[in-house]
Structure 1
């Protein structure tokens, strides 16, 4: 079991799946930090039953804020050198995390990001979802200064150097674009590796709409213009 890796899992109304996701991670990794973003269901109870670290937000603050809270908590864990952002809905695979950890250790990169568009594409992804993500990639590459194939994939592995400097200020889903800006500004060494995202009926039901994607783009542009 690895004790030098911390998983950060934002949780919001995931009571039906989060326990299985967390227990699966804990079989191979000692540190799992779940940030309950003021869920209205029993998500917190389900996490607590696993023995993972549980941090509760008193109000709903959004996924970006939950990630930042989890990163700050994980930074204080002794011996942790690598940080993994991981979704609570069962879309991510531990075998992909293992590959990403092997990559970051072998290459010395600062951050390794998963891509649905290198090699095998996502299982169960709709055509609409694929089209929206492709547009998001084009927009993000034009605004962030990075060249990526998948810019809104929640599966990432980064080292302590990045974790110590990570300061996510966008509380909602626009945090994904902000993280890329942080990578570009910090001149961190980065790369993508192919991963498989498994879209189930459950995860598709909680997915981001086209309207949300437009809002994210608007927030990103507004932040850049206001600087």
Structure 2
């Protein structure tokens, strides 16, 4: 049996298709966009130098984003209202999957991502070495990322790594490539800007191969702040904390519970040692200790119960997939 041969061939002058055996299959670039009339045309035209299929998901824009995207040669999906980045991306990626593409690239529509980097992000997927490739801003020390952005991104990446048990350097990057296998595993729910973290956690739980390649990002773009950075960061962090609670309940509840138990025991020891030495009973300290001890035991018990439930759910899901 001859294994499929994977090569790259050019279409037109620069467009990229993939040859697998004798069948030609396309690569899609999916671009979610909301009020990006100033830059969306440039993004599309530059992306089309590397693929003949650019899918723009107009997320309820109030400007001429959809019209300009259509004129620039993109296939436009119009969302009925502004539902957020996650719903727009999911719509575009699932549409690409329905077109039987070999791989898909997702990138932002505000011009921050350089379309010239598409071949770099795609390479590990096309070589069969990865299912999800993340374009990382932190692999290149000369990326020129503002300090406040770097701090926030690294905090969110740390939390994502804890929740997904899949270490990455830039979990929040929206410049990614997905293999056909990844496109078949888009059965997860996400909201807003949390899709990057949710995607990593879901693909890692399915055993998909995740890797990173270095990219550079521009921050001097017209619509760089559609959402308050603090609201964005706390919203994503809240989602990640929920993810950690679901994926690793014993870690999420057990560690705080153990800390509270130690505080409770320490308060009790202090209270009784003081009473023994001075005959003074510190009632408030004693009650704080008792409360901490009970709350700690409750959290430990909740962590154990939730861990058991998660294990049962995973076992049930595995049996359903086998059958």
TM over 0.5: yes
Question: 1:121: Cα distance to partner?
Answer: 4.2
> Is 2:156 the partner of 1:142?
no
Which is higher, the Rg of structure 1 or of structure 2?
2
Deviation at 1:181, TM superposition (A): 1.1
Secondary structure of the 2:47 match is helix
Report the CA distance between 1:223 and its aligned residue: 4.9
Q: How far apart in 2 are the matches of 1:197 and 1:39?
A: 24
- Can you list the C-alpha shifts for 1:16-65, whole angstroms capped at 9, x where unaligned? 11011111111231001110010111111111111210000101111000
Quick one: which of 226, 229, 232 aligns to 1:209? 229
Number of the residue aligned with 1:61: 83
| Alignment equivalent of 2:92, drawn from 62, 67, 70 | 70
Following superposition, the deviation at residue 122 of structure 1 comes to 3.1
Asked if 1 retains the 8 angstrom alpha-carbon contact of 2:30 and 2:106, the reply is yes
Unaligned runs of 5+ in 2: 1-14, 18-25, 247-309, 311-323
Among residues 104, 109, 119, which one is paired with 2:130 in the alignment?
Answer: 109
**Contact in 1 for aligned 2:132/2:209 (Cα 8 Å):** yes
Of residues 5, 16, 21 in structure 2, which corresponds to 1:2? 16
Rounded Cα–Cα distance in structure 2 between residues aligned with 1:223 and 1:114: 23
Is the contact made by 1:91 and 1:203 (CA closer than 8 Å) also made in structure 2? no
**What secondary structure does 1:199 align onto?**
coil
CA distance in structure 2 between the partners assigned to 1:172 and 1:28 by the alignment: 28
Alpha carbons of 1:70 and 1:168: their partners in 2 closer, same or farther (altered >3 Å)?
A: farther
Q: Verify the 8 A CA contact 2:33 2:59 in the aligned structure 1.
A: yes
Q: CA RMSD in A?
A: 1.8
CA 1:87–1:121 in 2, change beyond 3 Å: closer, same or farther?
farther
Q: 1:57 to 1:168 in 2, by over 3 A?
A: farther
Q: Within 5 A, what are the aligned runs for 1:162-177?
A: 162-177=182-197
Distance 1:199 1:56 in 2: 27
1:27 pairs with 2:49: yes
Map 1:73-152 → 2, pairs under 5 A: 73-78=95-100, 80-123=101-144, 125-152=145-172
Question: How many Å separate the matches in 1 of 2:45 and 2:136?
Answer: 25
Displacement of 1:91: 1.1
Unpaired runs of at least 5, structure 1:
none
Report the TM-score when normalising by structure 2: 0.66
For CA contacts below 8 A with separation 6 or more, give which structure has more relative contact order: 1
